[in-house]
Amino acid sequence: MDLKNGSVVTEFILQGFSAGWELQIVFFVTFSLIYGATVLGNTLIMVTVTCSSTLHSPMYFLLGNLSFLDMCLSTVTTPKMIRDLLTAHKTISIWGCMAQMFFMHLFGGAEATLLVAMAFDRYVAVCKPLHYRKIMNHRVLNGFVILSWTIGFIHTMSQMVLTVNLPFCGPRIIDNIFCDLPLVIKLACVETYTLELFVIADSGLWSLICFLLLLVSYTVILATVQRRSSGGLSKALSTLSAHITVVSLFFGPCIFIYAWPFKSFASNKVLAVFYTVITPLLNP
């Protein structure tokens, strides 16, 4: 590694799960099956949405893009995590670590934005059904996708441009299953208080804002349905409940980890698994 920034550390050690060998095998099989199902399921959704003319609607267009982001987000961390379950030497190069964090926040930021766009799509479909096709046209849909990737790129670059130049001179143990930005920043050999506050504002606050926007949109949808028909409320709840659950699983860990990112919690590894392994499987 280039040592111009004063770093003497060339690789980090991922502590991973502290469990016996038998339990590690169980984790390996479980996560391998989940990851395989995630890739297969999301690929099938993308192919079906692309090839089926009956699914060329705004909702399915956004769903296809969400499936792609889910697959990418899971692929950034899960394959290495699965491989590390069978090895005693769980290391990652410093630039591999930086790349992992870059793509994690790129795909995560884009997905958070896209979920808000999907909630807006449902709001228009329920609250303004007569104008749905006019509002949710191809230009708007492409704009949502471009905006999602743009926000994701700005989100990750704003943090990584400051992190990549930090000097690391030891220790080098990351107490997680992948390179988590707050934990990596804590290993730097310089004062990082300002950067820590920036990460809280950039990641934690953005996750909270997106989650609140989603809650507002769902509340408006349910209120609109209730005004039109009392029987329609139960149907709307059953339709939205699965999406609300998945959205909570996506944003809940983000808010918890990044709103208090520099405190160490025993549950952080479990939340990381939900964020990177479980949610991409459930989202579609």
* Model confidence at 126: pLDDT above 80: yes
Sheet holding 91-93, edge to edge: 91-93, 11-14, 173-174
In DSSP notation, 22-44 reads HHHHHHHHHHHHHHHHHHHHHHH
Which residue in this structure is represented by tokens 């060339």?
10
Task: Report the amino acid identity of residue 280.
Answer: P
The stretches of 52-93 forming alpha helices (DSSP H) are 58-84
Helix axes of 230-259 and 206-228: crossing angle, nearest 10 degrees = 170
| CA-based radius of gyration for the chain | 20
DSSP helix/strand/coil, 272: helix
What is the number of residues in the chain? 284
Q: What's the CA gap between 265 and 269, in Å, rounded?
A: 9
The pLDDT tens digits of the residues spanning 198-254 come to 888 888 788 888 888 888 888 888 888 877 776 666 766 766 777 777 788 788 777
List of domains in the chain: 11-164+172-282 (1.20.1070.10)
Please tell me the least confidently modeled range out of 4-8, 77-81, 108-112, 230-234. Answer: 4-8
What is the reported pLDDT for 32? 95
The pLDDT value recorded for residue 163 is 93
CA gap 181, 159 in Å, rounded = 9
Q: Specify the pairing of strand 91-93 against strand 11-14.
A: antiparallel
Each residue of 41-90: pLDDT tens digit?
999 999 999 998 888 889 899 999 999 999 999 999 999 999 998 887 88
Dihedral sign, Cα of residue 56, residue 58, residue 63, residue 68: positive
